[in-house]
Amino acid sequence: MQEWMEKIRKVPDFPKKGILFYDVTPVLQDPVSFGNVLEAMAAPFERKKIQVVCSIESRGFIFGAALANDLGAGFVPVRKPGKLPWKTARQEYDLEYGKDALELHIDAVSPGQKVLIVDDLLATGGTAQAALNLLRKFNADVVGASFVIELTALGGRKRLDGIEVRTLLSV
C-alpha cells in the first residue's frame, strides 16, 4: 500500500492559494496501484451485499464505477446541478463561501437498496453529507462511504454519522 500512497502528488496552492491538492492521477496511471486501491476500497464492503455504488462528481466516478463492477453492484452518479438529463432530486449544502447543490435522478435508487457512497477525498464532509441526505430522501439503506484520502483535521467524518466510513490514507 505504501507504494501507491507515495504516488499521490501533492500540489500546493491548487485550486487556490493555501490549498494543498492531493492529485490521484499518478495512481490511476499505474494499473497495479489502481487495482490495489480498488481492492482495498472494496474489501470492507464485500460481504455487505451492496446493490448500488453512488459516486460524487467527478473523481469519485473513476473509483465508484470500478468499485461497482468489483462489488457486482449498479453505479449511480451524483452530479452538480444541471448535469443530469432527466428528472432529479436536489440537495443543497453550505460551502465556506456560499452554497452548492447535488442532484440525483429520481429513479436512481429504490427504498431499502443497500448503497455505498464513494469519492476520492473526504475533507469537510459537506459534499458527502449532501449525497447521504439525498439518498436518504429515497429511503436508501446507505451502508457506508469509502474514500481514498481523508483530511482528518477538517473533521468531515463527523458529518457522516450513522454510516461506516472507510478511508485508505489519512493525512
Q: Which domain holds residue 86?
A: 48-166
Can you give the CATH number for the domain in which 136 is found? 3.40.50.2020
Q: Which of 57, 92, 96, 103 is catalytic?
A: 96
Of 41, 37, 24, 170, the closest CA to residue 116 belongs to 41
Q: Is residue 56 part of a domain?
A: yes
Q: Which of 59, 79, 103, 159 is catalytic?
A: 59
Strands, E assignment, the chain: 9-12, 20-23, 52-56, 74-78, 88-95, 98-105, 114-122, 141-150, 164-170
Grade residue 1 by pLDDT with cuts at 50, 70 and 90. low
Is 9 noted as a catalytic residue in this protein?
no
Does residue 96 surpass a pLDDT of 80?
no
- For 137, the 3-state DSSP assignment is helix
Amino acid letter at 39? E
Is 96 noted as a catalytic residue in this protein?
yes
Does residue 141 surpass a pLDDT of 80?
yes
Grade residue 95 by pLDDT with cuts at 50, 70 and 90. confident
Where does residue 44 rank: exposed (0-12), middle (13-18), buried (19+ CB within 10 A)? middle
Q: Which pLDDT score, from 0 to 100, does residue 157 have?
A: 96
Grade residue 94 by pLDDT with cuts at 50, 70 and 90. confident
Question: Model's pTM, two decimal places?
Answer: 0.95
Does residue 110 surpass a pLDDT of 90?
yes
Q: Is residue 55 part of a domain?
A: yes
Q: Is residue 8 part of a domain?
A: no
Q: How many domains does the chain have?
A: 1
Q: Which pLDDT score, from 0 to 100, does residue 143 have?
A: 97
